[in-house]
Structure 1
Amino acid sequence: MAAEGLRLTPFRGLRYAPDRVGSLAAVTSPPYDVVVRPDGLHHLETANPYNIVRLILPHGPNGSPAAHHTQAARTLNEWRESGVLRRDARPALYVYEQRTRSVLQRGLVGALQLPRSEGVVLPHEEVIDEVVADRAALMEAIAANPEPLLLSYRGAAETTGAAAVIERAVHGTPLLATTTEDGTEHRLWAVTDPAELAEAAGDLAHRTALIADGHHRWATYLRLRDAHAPAGAGERSPWESGLVLLVDTDRYPLQVQAIHRVLPRLPLQRALDLAAPHFRVRALHVPLPQAAHALRETPGNAYLLTEDGETFHLLDAPEPGLLARTVRTDRPEAWRSLDATVLHSTLLDSVWHVQDVSGTIEYLHNTSAAIAKAASWGGTAVLMRPVAESTVRELAEQGVTMPRKSTSFGPKPATGLVLRTLDGTGAGEPSSS
């Protein structure tokens, strides 16, 4: 265990005023990288003029990314000045609950001090520099963390420390309660009592965490911390912390889902023709649920390809010699055998010759959305299987990163319930520990 642990500090959250926006559900959004563009973006923008997507995904028919970031900053300032967004009076850690018929998740939202030691917060996926640069430019422009990333830690199902603070908080009156259109109930409580904050801090100081969702946001936090390093010794910068949701997965296990690929420039028949000499290819004339079941039950590396959701093709049993030539040998076997590793190293790079750059690969969390995109573009949807959380943690603890977009942990926190400003007051306060 690392000598340095997690330091989650309270902050004065910036939240929507219900009397100004009407429905809290109508101003929330999924995380920026889950919004399906442009359809999902348009849906959210028209749901409410104050929807948070106008801050996390600013855009327009004209203008550079910098202009869009300036637009987001102007929007945030207008909402704050008009009282649409109001800052809480006292620094708090926020207990956040998500509930569906089958899932209950609770965790703590706070400003996590970005550790200098390795092994305190474990990444497990690679990131794209251009995405990090864009996120950094946006956060710098708006001087805020608009959405928390999701971190998981192992609390051994204990009912003391942070877990006890959470369970006591949920018996009180929540700051807000809303149900989003997907049927998920969201509730938020503020923990402001110094003794409660100290109890949570003392427990988390001995913990480490895995980045479950938000690798690009994490890399953004680190970049902004270094860019805004204090000039003098002993000075503190609000950029030394970042907004996170911390969940004890021993008490509230996360769900792990796959992230699918859509190749808009690769027609399905060409993908099959190129793969056939190296993989077993089988046509499945069955509906999606049966095709997905066949994918799950296939041993070894396997992928489900479709162009329209009517006919599916199962690719499996890759040629061992091809794997030996294309997959790196300086990584653990658990990494070498990942579906994502073989997809990117073997299929994309060596068989299909598709570069992983903007415009050639789209990453979608929703299966139906991936199929619809492939159909509209005349391309190929590559449907994936989820990776076991134990495998993710095993590799992360070895310092081995997986190919990007290998996993999708959830449920993901809704964006828009609480924001953290970085313009000074309220960005993150030391707790009383």
Structure 2
Amino acid sequence: MPGMGTPELPMPDGLVLRPFRGVRFAVEDPAKVTSPPYDLISDADVDALLDSHPNNVVRLILPRSPRDDSSAKSPAPHRQQEPNQTPSTTSRRPSADVEPASTQQQASAPPTPSGTGLEPRYVKARDTLRAWLDTGVLVPDDVPALYVYEQSGPNVLQRGLIGDVGLADPGQRIILPHEDVMPGPITDRLALMSTTQANLEPIFLLYNGDNGTATRLVDEVASKRRPLVSTHTEDGLRHRLWAITDPAEINAINADLHDRQALIADGHHRYATYRVLQRQERLASQVSATSAATGVSGEAGSGRSSGDRSTPQPVVGPWDFGLALLVDSTAYPPNLQAIHRVIPGLPLAEAVAKARGAWRVQDFDDLAQGLAALKGAAEPAFLLAGEGGTHLLTNPDPVQLARAMPPDHSDRWNSLNTSVLTEFVLPKVWGMRDDEQAVRIVHHDTDAAVRLAIRTGGTAVLLRPLAVDDVLAVAAGGERVPRKSTSFGPKPRTGLVLRTFAID
């Protein structure tokens, strides 16, 4: 349409956490309908979660195509995460899907996005969400709230606030990404969010709260008020949720947050997706507003303004915010764990032979010995494992290393083990790129990484976790660590509170 361009996006002038009407499961045991974040779920985990409850949230976040639901073991082709365990051999019960609601949209149902050609699995997630809202499996809270969320267990205590975070451009230095993203997961999450018109799981943000007003109120609520939800998950953690609905308390929280910065601890792909979806929905709003102003027939989406004939101005929409958990890292320091790599196409013997030309290689009899040596080694260091042994790489050739590392990055960035792996080991030593097809990802579990390497005839590359201070310094300097460099925890449990655009 003439005159249509990239729509102007609202720019928050600080860190904003807006209350919303949370959508929550009305079930006897909330734990049974929750799940880990989508990218930590293996195919075997999907089956176990479906077995735990017919309405488990995994049906929404990792939907299967209707034709595959009763037999297939592959929920989402764009996921980067690889299994943290070998697939279960336990057969699961037949699907217990709620039948999709009528095609006539109900008041509580998320709006159907315009466009055609949607993949069946995303449509299935939308229809399942709609059915659960219509039948009372999911129930929206009566009034908007910020939610205090607590995770506790052996050596674990984390509290934070769940709300709608205002979407800031990274250049504003309000919400800092620290990790690169890949197009596949963004495409997948965008299709899911735009089709369901919902944020189904929160991203995880950390900020330096200096035990300010927001943190003091979070602790007061968790200590003195009755929770909406209290449940225990199979990992031994207790999850509790409270709603803050008092406007004065919400205003006090946002006054405290306004001038602070937040670091994306987990959810880089989802935050990037929030911003792509924001542009997509605002462009659709702009088209609808211009069509209405000029008398051209067109679909009007939820919250879209007709605007003025010359310069249509869409109103602020729910897509201008994204679901997030915000945690004060000074009050609740995060646990940072490593993310390991598996290279199926690279036999261990070949990987070790090529590494000897640039690294000192030490051979170990078993994995435990190798891991102990890795823990005590100076960075950069990597433990290679798979069929036939364990080998520690240390003391890289300084000339080769310096030649490989990019001069336009800071010394701190170039010293990170994941940077050395991405820029030196993979392309220069092994002659391959660090991409989703060639390099597979395993969070935390060294045994699972080695099993996957053996099963695929490849090499597991085991790493130590990055230091929190290094990650913060790199992000503050405007740089991003290579993809899948960090795993902050404990991560928020998916399914305790959801957000739909129609109800928000």
Q: TM-score, normalised on structure 1?
A: 0.92
In structure 2, relative to structure 1, the CA distance for the partners of 1:3 and 1:46 (3 Å cut) is closer
Aligned to 1:355: 433
Q: Which amino acid aligns with 2:435?
A: V
Aligned to 1:430: none
The match for 1:167 among 219, 230, 238 is 219
Q: Which amino acid aligns with 1:275?
A: A
Q: In the alignment, is residue 334 of structure 1 matched against residue 412 of structure 2? A: yes
Shift in Å at residue 113 of structure 1?
A: 1.2
Shift in Å at residue 156 of structure 1?
A: 1.5
What pairs with 1:208-357 in structure 2 (closer than 5 Å)?
208-229=261-282, 230-231=285-286, 232-233=312-313, 235-288=315-368, 290-307=369-386, 311-357=389-435
Aligned to 1:41: 46
The match for 1:183 among 219, 236, 240 is 236
Q: In the alignment, is residue 145 of structure 1 matched against residue 199 of structure 2? A: yes
In structure 2, relative to structure 1, the CA distance for the partners of 1:414 and 1:3 (3 Å cut) is closer
Aligned to 1:14: 23
State the distance in 1 between where 2:323 and 2:187 align: 18
The match for 1:134 among 188, 209, 212 is 188
Aligned to 2:8: none
Shift in Å at residue 415 of structure 1?
A: 0.5
State the distance in 2 between where 1:305 and 1:418 align: 40
Contact 2:12-2:168 within 8 A present in 1 as well: no
State the distance in 1 between where 2:49 and 2:451 align: 19
Contact 1:283-1:313 within 8 A present in 2 as well: yes
- Of 125-134 and 62-71, the range deviating more from structure 2: 62-71
Contact 1:124-1:400 within 8 A present in 2 as well: yes
Q: Deviations over 1:348-377 (max 9, x none)?
A: 112212333333211111222222211222
Q: Secondary structure at the match of 2:336?
A: strand
- Of 145-154 and 79-88, the range deviating more from structure 2: 79-88
- Of 87-96 and 129-138, the range deviating more from structure 2: 129-138
In structure 2, relative to structure 1, the CA distance for the partners of 1:3 and 1:238 (3 Å cut) is closer
Q: Deviations over 1:365-422 (max 9, x none)?
A: 1222222211222211111111111111111111111101111111000001000101
Aligned to 2:476: 397
State the distance in 2 between where 1:183 and 1:16 align: 21
In structure 2, relative to structure 1, the CA distance for the partners of 1:391 and 1:397 (3 Å cut) is same
* Equivalenced residues, count: 416
Q: Which amino acid aligns with 1:377?
A: T
Q: Deviations over 1:2-57 (max 9, x none)?
A: 99321100000011002xxx432121111111112x22222222222111111111
- Of 92-101 and 270-279, the range deviating more from structure 2: 270-279
Q: Which amino acid aligns with 2:13?
A: E
Contact 2:26-2:139 within 8 A present in 1 as well: yes
Aligned to 2:175: 121
Contact 2:367-2:385 within 8 A present in 1 as well: no
Identical columns (%): 44
Say which one has the larger Rg. Answer: 2
Q: Secondary structure at the match of 2:172?
A: coil
Shift in Å at residue 305 of structure 1?
A: 1.2
Contact 1:305-1:312 within 8 A present in 2 as well: yes
Q: TM-score, normalised on structure 2?
A: 0.80
Shift in Å at residue 234 of structure 1?
A: 6.2
Q: In the alignment, is residue 23 of structure 1 matched against residue 29 of structure 2? A: yes
State the distance in 1 between where 2:339 and 2:367 align: 20
- Of 227-236 and 255-264, the range deviating more from structure 2: 227-236
Shift in Å at residue 137 of structure 1?
A: 0.9
Q: Which amino acid aligns with 1:33?
A: D
Q: Which amino acid aligns with 1:395?
A: V
State the distance in 2 between where 1:59 and 1:353 align: 36
Aligned to 1:5: 14
Contact 1:165-1:199 within 8 A present in 2 as well: no
Shift in Å at residue 273 of structure 1?
A: 1.2
Q: Secondary structure at the match of 1:164?
A: helix
Aligned to 1:155: 209
Q: Secondary structure at the match of 1:364?
A: strand
State the distance in 2 between where 1:76 and 1:26 align: 17
Structure 1 unaligned segments of length 5 or more: list them.
428-433
Q: Deviations over 1:74-133 (max 9, x none)?
A: 111111111111111110000000011101000000001112462000000100012111
Higher relative contact order (CA 8 A, sep 6+): 1
Q: In the alignment, is residue 90 of structure 1 matched against residue 143 of structure 2? A: yes
Q: Deviations over 1:286-338 (max 9, x none)?
A: 442x4323112101210111115x84211111111221222101110001111
Task: After the TM superposition, list the runs of 4 or more consecutive aligned residues in structure 1 that deviate by more than 3 angstroms.
Answer: 60-65
State the distance in 2 between where 1:113 and 1:34 align: 26
State the distance in 2 between where 1:293 and 1:3 align: 47
Aligned to 2:80: none
Q: Which amino acid aligns with 2:166?
A: Q
State the distance in 2 between where 1:331 and 1:359 align: 26
Q: Secondary structure at the match of 1:33?
A: helix
